[in-house]
Every structure is written in C-alpha cells, then in structure tokens.
C-alpha cells in the first residue's frame, strides 16, 4: 500500500478511536465511520472489512521501544516518554477505550487480548531489564513490577471514565513507578 | 427491620450480585431477581424499589476495618485479611462487577462513584496511617500508596474478566503491596 493509503488508514483509525471511546465497541457502525471520515462506503471498505478489524488494529498500535533500546538510548529517557504518554491518556477521559475493550472482549476475543497483554508485558520487561543492565534502574523483579505498571494503569484508565480525576492521581502513578525503579527515598 | 428482614435482604443482594457479575447492570431485571431468589414480586419490592437500589447497596458493602483499628488489632493482620479478600476476588472472574459498574456509571451515577472511591481511599489511608503509627509499616506517603493499592486492584479486576489469569498475577499484587509497606528487600 502506498503512502497515501497508509495515511488514509491512519485517519480512519484516529477517527474511529474517538467513536469507540465515546460509544463503546458495539454501537459504532461502519456508516458512523464513513460520516466521521468523509469517506464513501466503498472508500472505507477498500481499507477495512469491518469495525472489528479497525478496533483490533487500534489496540495493536504500540508505543515502540525496541528500536530505542537497539540504539542504546538511555532507559530513563525511554521510561520518561512512556510515562508521559500514559499520563496524558489517564487525564483525557474522552480517549479511554475501556468500555469498548470490555464489549469487544465479551464478544469472545479472549485470545486477542491475551496476546495483546503478553506483548505489553514483554515490552515493559524488556525496558526494565535493559535499564537494570545499564545500571539506571534498581534490580527489581521485572515481572512483578511490569504487572504493577500495567494493571495500575488499566485501573486508572477504567476509573477515569467513571469519576473525575485530579491531576494528582496521574502524578502519583508516575511517582510510584519512578520511585520503584530509581529507588528514591520515602515512598 | 427485624433480623429476618435483614437476612432476606442479604439473600437478595447475594443473588443479585451473581446476576450483575454475569450480565452487567442493565440486562438484569427485578423479574430475574425474583426468579433467582424465589421471592414473589411483592416480596422483593417490600425490600427494594429497583435494581439500582440493590446495586448501589452491593457496592456500598464494605470491608469494615474501623472497628478493628479501634480494638487495636495488629495493622499487619488487618492488611493480611484485606489482601486475602482481594486475592480471591481477583481469581474469581465470575464475581467481577466491573462491567456492571461501567454501565451503572454511564447512566450518570458519577457522584455515587466519587463517593464510593473516596470512602475506599480513606479506609486504606486510615489503615496505612495506623500501621505507620504502630511502627508495623514503613513511613510511606499514604495517599500515594492508597492510590496504587486501589487502582492496581481495579485494573486486575477489569482484566480478570477479559483474559485468563494465572495465580501468579494475584500473588504479584499481594507481594508488591507487602513489600512497599513492610519494606522487604529486592522488589
């Protein structure tokens, strides 16, 4: 697919993301996505066969860190960027896909989520291992801390849709992760 | 209300809990609850005016710790019991109310959840402060650690419905909380 095709797909995913965050998974139709993107039905179906395919691709879009580790960037700098992205997601409740994820999971996509979760876990473990190796992070149990980082974040994302959050809630998350890894005093 | 009335209400809540966990909030009707409990419509409405009232009461049932602190029980023992309850909830995906909570929240019950969350937070903060006072826990930032304990747990509860969990995932949670409070070596 050419550059233009990739750009169109990106636009579709970006617009569909907002719809899924707003309405959940099941209430969003291909027609809604046509309206939102201005594409014709034929135009949309050229790229995606249905809302499930679009949603799965959105969820698979990942914050890529393998390249940065490869280039031997500082583990602390990579961590900062990931935490920054997470923090802005937590504070922007309009962007939470939690409800849509729930609905999509209940349609029997367990394997998909198991896979997604595994990948996220491996990504964090690889960053933690890298940072421990370079001596930037403390020698934590990487599996244990990855779990904490991931599920604590998921809990925040879910509740950010349910109740209003103060900035402090997101800051506490960032602070806890950093203190565990950098070992600052008094938690 | 007499003892018998309290018992009937408890039965209603216990049966309704299973229905909400299974179907979410909106799909459960008072008729479903009659069937499940064997109560007549009149019998059920004597105690509850609708599913919203039952659901709100279920969510407000709390693990009570104020009495135990009052009686000067060991903070560590109270913590163990709370973690044990949490762990069994994490491992029993049939008991997760997350989907129902979501639906109920989306019906505009934000204040209710803000209040619920505040109470849970205060409960944890009071236990942490108590344990720090008795010298059993490390001098952690109680608000920060309460957030971690609560949202990490919520993330686990949500994902326990979406993917299958190994026991290790729940154990990592317990271990992280304990290490932060008791300050065991190597996290």
The ipTM is: 0.83
Q: How far apart are the first and last CA of chain A?
A: 50
CA distance B65 to B127: 8
Q: DSSP of B74-112, one letter per residue?
A: -HHHHHHHHHHHHHHHHH-GGG--HHHHHHHHHTT-HHH
Query: Model confidence over A19-56: pLDDT tens digits?
Result: 998 888 999 999 999 999 999 999 999 999 999 999 99
Tell me what pLDDT residue B116 has.
86
Residue A112 has a pLDDT of: 87
**Position A133 confidence tier, pLDDT thresholds 50, 70, 90:** very high
Q: How confident is the model at residue A187 (pLDDT cuts 50, 70, 90)?
A: very low
Mean pLDDT of A142-154: 95
Comparing CA positions, the residue from A21, A113, B106 lying closest to residue A32 is A21
A56 in contact with B, Cβ within 8 Å:
no
One DSSP character per residue, B111-142 reads HHHHHHHHHHHHHHHHHHHHHHHTTSS----H
Helix B98-106 × helix A142-162 angle, to 10°: 30
List chain A residues with CB under 8 Å of B176: 144-145, 147-148
Alpha helices in chain A (DSSP H): 3-23, 30-37, 41-47, 51-60, 66-70, 75-91, 98-106, 110-133, 142-162, 167-182
pLDDT of residue B186: 43
Residues of B in contact with A164 (CB under 8 A): 110, 114
Taking the mean position of all CA atoms in its chain, how far away is CA A182?
A: 23
Chain B contacts of A105, Cβ < 8 Å? 161-163
pTM of the model: 0.84
User: Chain B, 66-105: which have a CB under 8 Å from a chain A CB?
Assistant: 98-99, 101-102, 105
Report the phi/psi class of residue B43: left, alpha or beta, with left for phi > 0 and alpha for psi in -120 to 50: alpha
Give pLDDT, residue B185: 52
Q: Does the beta carbon of A155 lie under 8 angstroms from any beta carbon of chain B?
A: yes
Residue A185, pLDDT above cutoff 60: no
Distance from the B49 Cα atom to the nearest Cα atom in chain A, whole angstroms = 24
- Which pLDDT value is given to residue B161? 77
In this prediction, residue A186 carries a pLDDT of 43
Rounded CA-CA distance B180/A96 in Å is: 29
Tell me the C-alpha distance between A102 and A53, whole Å.
16
Confidence of residue A164 (pLDDT cuts 50, 70, 90): confident
User: Number of H helices and number of E strands within chain B?
Assistant: 10, 0
Residue A1: other Cβ atoms inside 10 A: 10
| Residues B110, A163: C-beta atoms closer than 8 Å | yes
Closest C-alpha to B177, from A91, A1, A180: A180
pLDDT values of chain B reduced to their tens digit, one per residue, 187 residues: 678 889 999 999 999 999 998 888 999 999 999 999 999 999 999 999 999 999 999 988 877 788 899 999 999 999 999 999 889 888 876 777 877 887 888 788 888 888 888 999 999 999 999 999 999 999 999 999 999 999 999 899 888 877 888 889 999 999 999 999 998 654 4
- Mean pLDDT calculated for residue range A112-131: 92
Residues of chain A contacting B110 with CB distance shorter than 8 Å: 162-164
Cα–Cα distance, A73 to A67 (Å, whole number) = 9
Instruction: Tell me how far the alpha carbon of residue A45 is from its chain's centroid.
Output: 25
Which pLDDT band holds residue A1 (cuts at 50, 70, 90)? Answer: low
* Distance of alpha carbon B44 from alpha carbon B31, whole angstroms: 9
Q: Considering only CA atoms, which of B17, B149, B39, B175 is closest in space to residue B96?
A: B17
Report, as an integer, the average pLDDT of A149-168: 88
Contacts of residue A161 in chain B, CB cutoff 8 Å? 102, 105-106
Rg from Cα positions in chain A: 18
Closest chain B residue to the Cα of A104, Cα to Cα: B162
């Amino acid at each position: 697919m050419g550059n233009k095709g990739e750009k169109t797909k990106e636009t579709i995913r970006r617009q569909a993301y907002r719809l899924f965050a707003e309405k959940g998974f099941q209430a969003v139709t291909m027609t809604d996505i046509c309206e939102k993107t201005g594409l014709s039905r034929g135009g949309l179906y050229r790229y995606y066969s249905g809302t499930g395919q679009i949603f799965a691709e959105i969820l698979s879009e990942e914050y890529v860190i393998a390249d940065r580790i490869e280039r031997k960037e500082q583990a602390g700098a990579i961590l900062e960027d990931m935490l920054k992205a997470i923090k802005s997601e937590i504070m922007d409740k309009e962007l939470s896909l939690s409800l849509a994820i729930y609905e999509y999971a209940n349609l029997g996509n367990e394997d998909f989520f198991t896979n997604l979760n595994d990948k996220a876990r491996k990504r964090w473990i690889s960053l933690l291992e890298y940072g421990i190796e370079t001596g930037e992070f403390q020698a934590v149990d990487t599996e244990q801390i990855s779990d904490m980082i991931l599920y604590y974040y998921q809990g925040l994302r879910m509740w950010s849709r349910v109740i209003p959050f103060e900035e402090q809630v997101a800051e506490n998350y960032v602070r806890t992760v950093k203190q565990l890894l950098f070992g600052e005093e008094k938690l």
